[in-house]
C-alpha cells in the first residue's frame, strides 16, 4: 500500500522531470533540500515512458507526481546523465554538493536504516551487497 503522504514534496518549490538514460526513462524529483526521489524504469512502471504513472494514470507525456511541478535543473540532469553513462568522475563532481533527501518518516525502519548506512559508510563508486 502506498502512503500518499510520503509521496508529497517538502514544499511547493519541488520540481519533477523525466529524462532518457541508457537504462530507460527515469523520473527525478528535486526539492529545496536535495534530490527527493529518482524513479527507475521497471516492469511494474512499464508505461512510465509514455507518462502513465500509478499516481496519475494519465497519458500523453510524462506527468509529475502529485504535488510536484514540471521543471528541470539542467545541472542535476547532466550529472545524473553522466552517472548513467558511466562517467563517475564528472557525476561525482557535479553531485558532490547535492545530498539525497530521504525523510525517514517516509520509509519503513529497515529501509531507512539501510539507506542511512549506505550514505554514511559506502564511498562513491564502491559496490556492496547485503542479504
Which pLDDT score is estimated for 4? 37
- Does residue 99 sit in helix, strand or coil? coil
pLDDT digits over 70-86, tens only? Answer: 899 898 898 888 888 88
For the entire predicted model, the pTM comes to: 0.58
Residue 72: closest CA among 17, 19, 22, 127? 17
Residue 84: closest CA among 21, 127, 41? 21
| Position 113 pLDDT exceeds 60 | yes
pLDDT digits over 16-63, tens only? Answer: 898 998 888 888 888 887 788 888 776 444 444 444 444 444 444 566
Average pLDDT, the chain: 70
Which segments of the chain does DSSP mark as H helices, in order?
74-84, 88-95, 109-121
Pairing label, strands 69-70, 15-21: parallel
Amino acid at each position: 500500500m502506498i502512503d500518499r503522504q510520503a509521496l508529497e514534496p517538502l514544499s511547493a518549490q519541488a520540481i519533477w522531470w523525466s529524462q532518457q538514460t541508457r537504462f530507460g526513462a527515469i523520473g527525478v524529483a528535486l526539492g529545496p533540500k536535495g534530490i527527493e526521489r529518482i524513479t527507475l524504469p521497471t516492469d511494474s512502471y512499464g508505461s512510465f515512458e509514455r507518462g502513465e504513472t500509478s499516481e496519475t494514470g494519465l497519458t500523453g507525456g510524462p506527468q509529475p507526481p502529485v504535488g510536484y511541478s514540471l521543471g528541470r535543473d539542467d545541472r542535476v540532469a547532466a550529472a545524473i546523465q553522466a552517472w548513467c553513462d558511466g562517467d563517475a568522475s564528472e557525476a561525482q563532481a557535479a553531485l558532490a554538493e547535492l545530498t539525497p533527501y530521504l525523510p525517514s518518516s517516509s520509509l519503513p525502519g529497515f529501509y531507512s536504516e539501510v539507506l542511512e548506512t549506505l550514505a554514511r559508510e559506502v564511498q562513491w563508486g564502491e559496490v556492496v551487497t547485503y542479504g
